[in-house]
Chains A and B, each alone.
Chain A
């Protein structure tokens, strides 16, 4: 008697769970449409269809998911007594059975394609876990056929048991879902510095706030850098300088992190490329070179006096309009 009661409770728990999964999947697809701007962006089983049919198939899948999810909720209580509830649950069962078969076919014909579930949140290829999850949903939907109208559980033991059923089933679904692992990875993701995008303007601003800059700026003769390039975690910024009667260049290496980056500097002879010792007491920099006027300056135009001093299209930021900024001075 007790066992039959528990089985009935498990069957009843499937209705809200299935509805939540269907509506959640539909919402995830809709969110992806908004983000990517295309209805059939997530391939999934639509890859089994010819190109011109993929869009209508993707639309139809999303619409059927939403219709089944809403119908399951509406027919869960007294409203759906009899034929209506059975029709909604049969349709849901059919949807998951077809989905399982489509995933099996997808796995054999397009093994590199993801299942397209939840708006293609995970692009992992279809695996046994994905198939098991789809089959679990199909079984759960079949188990709801013939259920009487759902009632709210009594507070106390019944409610606790229902919560336990939800928890166990959600844990099983999570274990079968590649999307959960993907979500955890995204939550804990920190981009390596080699891949981090950091605007050159921020590098220059950080450089001009640094003690290295304050110590060396007196030697700099032109406000805008004559060359700037990035390799891995470092951005290199080169300024023309003058030491006594000698033309030189100061090269700064700025580590690419948003705050208080590590900065190295060297003084190089402009003609020979030899490293020069820093002058004992570099002069105070001119008032027009103070940091407040300098933010956002880009590389200067090419110089004809030294090889390689030109601001190149490949190594600098032509769109940062260095000429116009340096022209202010």
Chain B
């Protein structure tokens, strides 16, 4: 039996209020110093000043525990608050596989995408969906112990016989040292893997290929794969993105393989928590500006491509919160979407 050591290190970078305050304060100070220089501050100009869209027109996600469900109404809550969501015949659901929305059980942890134009109407429901992305530390039969970085506890992943073939097509090396990314049903203390998140890189993490060399200016718009992560100490509904290239001087606490290691497959400019990214879903055309809320230490080790619509360039460029991923038109059970991010200039 694999032993899950709870030796993770926590940090407060995800606290929504603190992030928002820090972001706004830093923007204010940056504007003050660069605009005071008679237009010499193009480097630090805020992307929001360039007519970036606001996420008001994007679908909204609601997260909570299912309190009650009937063929027409879903009641989910967060603490003391309750939200009643209307179920229509167009709504779809997922709990390890396609499901009728009324099949969601009280007690399930649900993520609901609300209808874009109809207020309080569910468009899609994901029940008990979970995802583990990290480095395989141990294997015992069909169980894997996975390291997701220092700020999260190690995750126990079981691969049931029915899903094993599907997962091993994309992840042939389920051995310690290799990367894994699976989506499945969140059970107490473990994730029951159902589908592969993306495809497995061919290398173990101690033999990462060298990063590509870039000359001249780094491109302002960077294309690649955008994924999502489960909330851990993040407030429900947080809009934000974990970014693979935080300034090494900031001490990326999630860094599992050496302080400040650069992304291996996409050369991305260094930013800080609170910096703004314009994230565009290349499959749907939706876009919005998101703050950097953390470091995507594991995402930068992947050289996979997203094939949701066409084939993206190699490398993961952002790891979004569930709410952000859904708002930008992503389907949680697909794992990724092809995206382009624009970093403020």
CA distance A110 to B203 in the complex (A): 13
* Cα distance, A233 to B271, chains bound together (Å): 9
Interface string of A307-318 (1 = CB under 8 A from B): 111101111111
Inter-chain contacts of A315 with B (CB < 8 A):
22, 26, 250, 272-274
- A231-B262 contact, Cβ under 8 Å, with A51-B175, A251-B33, A314-B246: no
Asked if residues A230 and B249 are in contact (CB atoms below 8 Å), the reply is yes
Tell whether, in the assembled complex, residue B29 and residue A310 are in contact, meaning their CB atoms are under 8 Å apart: no
Q: Mark B2-38, 1 if CB is under 8 A from A, else 0.
A: 0000000001110000100110111011101110110
Contacts of A38 in B (CB 8 A): 206-207
Within 8 A of B (CB), among A254-278: 255, 264-266, 268, 273, 275
Interface string of B206-248 (1 = CB under 8 A from A): 1101100111111000000000000000000000000000111
Inter-chain CB contacts under 8 Å: number: 161
**Consensus secondary structure, chain B interface:** loop
Q: How many angstroms between the C-alpha atoms of A229 and B25 in the bound complex?
A: 12
Q: Does B78 contact A (CB under 8 A)?
A: no
A274 to chain B minimum Cβ distance, whole angstroms, is 9
What class of interface size applies to chain B in its complex with A? 35 or more
* Shortest beta-carbon distance from A123 to chain B in Å: 6
Given known pairs A195-B218, A197-B260, A230-B247, the reply for A314 and B33 (CB within 8 Å) is no
Among the listed A185, A253, A314, which residue makes an inter-chain contact with B294, where contact means beta carbons less than 8 Å apart?
Answer: A314
Query: Measured between C-beta atoms, what is the minimum distance from B11 to chain A in Å?
Result: 5
Q: Please state if B218 and A194 are interface contacts (CB–CB under 8 Å).
A: yes
Q: Which of B40-48, B112-120, B317-325 contacts A (4 or more CB under 8 A)?
A: B40-48
CB of A166 within 8 Å of the partner chain: no
Nearest CB in chain B: distance from A247 CB, A: 14
Report if B343 contacts A (CB, 8 A): yes
Cβ–Cβ contact B202 & A195, under 8 A = no
- Give A315 to B18 CA distance when docked, in angstroms: 12
Within the complex, the shortest CB–CB distance from A248 to chain B, in Å, comes to 11
Q: Shortest Cβ distance from A207 into chain B, in angstroms? A: 13
Known A-B contacts A229-B247, A231-B272, A264-B36; the reply to A313 vs B218 at CB < 8 A is: no
- In the assembled complex, the Cα of A242 lies from the Cα of B311 at a distance in Å of 55
Q: Please tell me if A190 contacts chain B, counting CB pairs below 8 Å.
A: yes
> What class of interface size applies to chain A in its complex with B?
35 or more
Inter-chain contacts of B216 with A (CB < 8 A): 192
B52 interface hit (Cβ, 8 Å): no
A246 sits at the interface (CB 8 A):
no
| Pairs A–B under 8 Å by Cβ, sample size 8 | A38-B206, A189-B215, A192-B216, A236-B33, A253-B41, A308-B21, A308-B22, A314-B272
Query: What 6 A-B pairs come out closest when comparing CB atoms?
Result: A308-B25, A314-B273, A194-B269, A229-B272, A230-B247, A266-B33
| B residues with CB within 8 A of A | 11-13, 18, 21-22, 24-26, 28-30, 32-34, 36-37, 40-41, 43-44, 173, 175, 202-203, 206-207, 209-210, 213-218, 246-251, 253, 260, 262, 267, 269-275, 292, 294-295, 343-345
Q: Using A230-B250, A236-B29 as known contacts, list a sample of 6 further A-B pairs with CB atoms less than 8 Å apart, ordered by residue number in A.
A: A38-B206, A51-B175, A194-B218, A230-B271, A231-B30, A266-B36
